[in-house]
Structure 1
């Protein structure tokens, strides 16, 4: 059986190629060497992708779907090795909704994307005019991914792009290139050459990809600031864009909720991937009548969740992936404490502990304008804000300029749906948070981005709409004199 060390050997830099040592965020020890590609390497990859694309498109949906299904099989054959490499590079534990879960999601998304139907749509057929809407390949797609879910989100980007007859050039995060290089090496076992290429470079490569005249669409998941830069870089070539940007998701617990019954789901809504998830629960609004009970039950669940090295089978929480994110989180928690907020749990990192570990932290009695509430913390710290009326909770939840996801918690689903309809977010979950499904479209509102992923709408987003507008055989088109 292939090990993750043999995976590393497959993706190792070529002799004489520039490389960068990737460190384990749990231990600070080397994981492997990642190639540092250049803009010239990007040019070669885009040229190869453009050359390979017409033949791939000509195969049709059935053949392309069959290739994606074989790619899913390949991912499953290497699942444990991919998960162990992911755990070492990103930091997430093997168990829980983490590394093994992420690799499994890659296979699941490949299969779902391959089997989602997309038929031409008849727009008008009135006996005189027949108009059909088709979706043709765009050409070459650029995919720029993040460091928090590097394998899964890359799959979200490449699977629909390939299914729709495009070829793809991937630019992974500089923090987690090994995971993406390894995943694509496995997927490429089942794909023709030139369809899928990873260029592991720096910001100059990302900027060149976003502005490249031969790339027809860019998909990006990451910060709002970087998303805005991509919009600017893509403007001159009028690229199609799908942007899944920063979120600061609110959850609202209604007065009739059962604190004990929802505590476990609240915890994982906030702390999946140790809080490093765009659509995680990052602000929790709780009605005054059950505020203390929710705090108590949530703290009990959080205190029981083990954090540590991801390769330890007992752990379900890991380190922050990088020191920069650790520093952001520490600053926000310290500012909340200094402002008089009450630390229910955590907030006390051990400076002598190796790795980027920040303890699971719950912060109560915090003002809604505190930076821990208004800025996306992207780590294992959750502010819990008290409210007295539903209107007040909705106003606070909608106050920010982002709107990726939100959630409402109540046994009365009808009442929860009424609140959900008033929230400014791309997805609102009822009695759960952050649960994505390859069949259900997903995208942000406000400055959390635009464009939809997943399901039929996700496939359409990777196609160029084309109307075939034809008269019936018995209809003669009028010709101007």
Structure 2
């Protein structure tokens, strides 16, 4: 059984104890992952602090060139990384159907793409005021050391979202991957360290306490976290001790509203994948689908036909569309929410019962005759179960969509884009998509409203969030 290593100051680091990383499709142990100690977490931060000034002192062009080499390294090893994503996270290796719906190979490619785009961005000084008496410029300086805590659903891609803009801005990074999906991240960081200067990118692995040690370290200058609201609240409280700023992406429970008259046959496939991409384990997936009563039954029939046709199984096998739920905790949550809906009188259109065998397979499940207030509607299920809710009045649908504390994404589906834009203005979410959902882009800011977090990632705004403004004012 192979034991994988962390990387600190450019060198592999082992730990006194390890834990198993398992394949959710069959329960197979994939390898042993070090459980970092607090001393090792502190050492990783210290290594980052030591390496960061020299990295920041390099020219923008130099840092950009290094990151382009990192992108090349990720491209050249994309199949290795994609294989680890499938084995450890569960999503199918390849794309599905003529649309090539994203799988693990897409995630590996996205790691390359989300490296090249930030590497291409510029943050030149901005002249914010000038008259005959003075000239004021805003320059951008790195923050220092970024502690990044990544999730298990898109383990490598979201890690790259945290790592690469931080490095581009001149920071150094310590990243803790999810304990459920550590090996792929360790392999990716190993490859990146073949290009990066020692100490600029470091890893620690383990359960939640390891991330807490990073947050509690006064040598950390910012925390980036993607995960649950409960953990985000703990991070916020701990970071306040040292006045450490944070960027938090805390999930969604995203609503989608299908307006009357929408071309549902043409939109059904897009709606389906907007809900069930990555087995529904995506922060910005549709989690609640509001459909006008005039088209509710027809759309349910279209979605059920798609759900029943999607082959589910080990993502390393060919022609698999749906993989397992990634971990037992999430599997049990989905089961509990669906069982509760059934006991409360909802209709299970398809799915609704765990599949037998060692893997964590839960069938695609559509639930109707359910409304707001039901746990399956009000809680973010983060899995392959979609509540579909009738509505009669559009104002009522908007009010329902805005219920609750979540506000990551939302979408409106219609042939009337003008009407959709007006509705989008009323939806309380960081991003509102029209006739698609969850379509993030490396140049478009992405972040949540309400209790879905704060701060933004991607593009110029995301890059600025990893710097501090430095004003130089000249009297003429």
How far does the alpha carbon of each residue in 1:95-119 deviate from its partner, in whole angstroms, 9 at most, with x for none?
A: 2212111111000000001012222
Q: Give the 5 Å matches for 1:415-454.
A: 415-454=419-458
The match for 2:350 among 345, 349, 359 is 345
2:94 aligned with 1:119, yes or no? no
Aligned residue in 2 for 1:105 = 110
How far does the alpha carbon of each residue in 1:49-83 deviate from its partner, in whole angstroms, 9 at most, with x for none?
A: 11111110010211111111110110111110111
Q: Give the 5 Å matches for 1:104-253.
A: 104-253=109-258
CA contact (8 A) 1:443 1:450 kept: yes
Aligned residue in 2 for 1:320 = 325
Aligned residue in 2 for 1:35 = 34
Q: Relative to structure 1, is the Cα distance of residues 58 and 6 closer, same or farther in structure 2, using a 3 angstrom cutoff?
A: farther
* Separation of aligned partners in 1, 2:110 and 2:52: 26
Aligned residue in 2 for 1:60 = 59
How far does the alpha carbon of each residue in 1:315-342 deviate from its partner, in whole angstroms, 9 at most, with x for none?
A: 1211011001000000000111111111
Give 1:17 deviation, angstroms.
Answer: 3.3
Give 1:246 deviation, angstroms.
Answer: 2.1
| Runs of 5+ consecutive residues of structure 1 not aligned to the other structure | 473-481
Give 1:13 deviation, angstroms.
Answer: 8.1
Aligned residue in 2 for 1:468 = 472
* Separation of aligned partners in 2, 1:315 and 1:76: 24
* Separation of aligned partners in 1, 2:307 and 2:469: 48
* Separation of aligned partners in 2, 1:457 and 1:253: 31
Q: Which moved more, 1:70-79 or 1:12-21?
A: 12-21
CA contact (8 A) 1:13 1:35 kept: no
Aligned residue in 2 for 1:373 = 377
* Separation of aligned partners in 1, 2:287 and 2:409: 10
Aligned residue in 1 for 2:397 = 393
CA contact (8 A) 2:172 2:200 kept: yes
Aligned residue in 1 for 2:99 = none
* Separation of aligned partners in 2, 1:127 and 1:269: 55
* Separation of aligned partners in 2, 1:15 and 1:338: 49
Q: Which moved more, 1:152-161 or 1:298-307?
A: 298-307
SS of equivalent to 1:190 = coil
The match for 1:296 among 272, 294, 301 is 301
Give 1:7 deviation, angstroms.
Answer: 11
2:259 aligned with 1:260, yes or no? no
Give 1:202 deviation, angstroms.
Answer: 2.4
CA contact (8 A) 1:13 1:34 kept: no
Aligned residue in 2 for 1:335 = 340
* Separation of aligned partners in 2, 1:430 and 1:161: 31
* Separation of aligned partners in 1, 2:203 and 2:300: 45
* Separation of aligned partners in 2, 1:225 and 1:285: 27
Give 1:14 deviation, angstroms.
Answer: 6.0
Q: Relative to structure 1, is the Cα distance of residues 255 and 16 closer, same or farther in structure 2, using a 3 angstrom cutoff?
A: closer
2:43 aligned with 1:44, yes or no? yes
Give 1:449 deviation, angstroms.
Answer: 0.1
Q: Relative to structure 1, is the Cα distance of residues 83 and 403 closer, same or farther in structure 2, using a 3 angstrom cutoff?
A: same
CA contact (8 A) 1:349 1:359 kept: yes
* Separation of aligned partners in 2, 1:86 and 1:329: 22
* Separation of aligned partners in 1, 2:316 and 2:261: 40
* Separation of aligned partners in 2, 1:36 and 1:434: 34
* Separation of aligned partners in 1, 2:366 and 2:192: 40
Q: Relative to structure 1, is the Cα distance of residues 16 and 364 closer, same or farther in structure 2, using a 3 angstrom cutoff?
A: closer
* Separation of aligned partners in 1, 2:129 and 2:6: 52
Aligned residue in 1 for 2:98 = none
Q: Which moved more, 1:93-102 or 1:248-257?
A: 93-102
How far does the alpha carbon of each residue in 1:393-419 deviate from its partner, in whole angstroms, 9 at most, with x for none?
A: 000000111100000001111111100
Q: Relative to structure 1, is the Cα distance of residues 203 and 23 closer, same or farther in structure 2, using a 3 angstrom cutoff?
A: same
* Separation of aligned partners in 1, 2:271 and 2:404: 21
The match for 1:402 among 402, 406, 415 is 406
Aligned residue in 2 for 1:475 = none
SS of equivalent to 2:241 = helix
CA contact (8 A) 2:6 2:203 kept: no
* Separation of aligned partners in 2, 1:421 and 1:322: 37
Deviation above 4 Å: which 4+ runs of structure 1?
5-16
Question: Would you say how many aligned residue pairs link Structure 1 and Structure 2?
Answer: 467
* Separation of aligned partners in 2, 1:353 and 1:208: 38
| Runs of 5+ consecutive residues of structure 2 not aligned to the other structure | 96-101
SS of equivalent to 2:298 = helix
* Separation of aligned partners in 2, 1:194 and 1:147: 24
TM-score (norm 1): 0.95
How far does the alpha carbon of each residue in 1:132-169 deviate from its partner, in whole angstroms, 9 at most, with x for none?
A: 11110100110001011110000000011000000000
CA contact (8 A) 1:7 1:81 kept: no
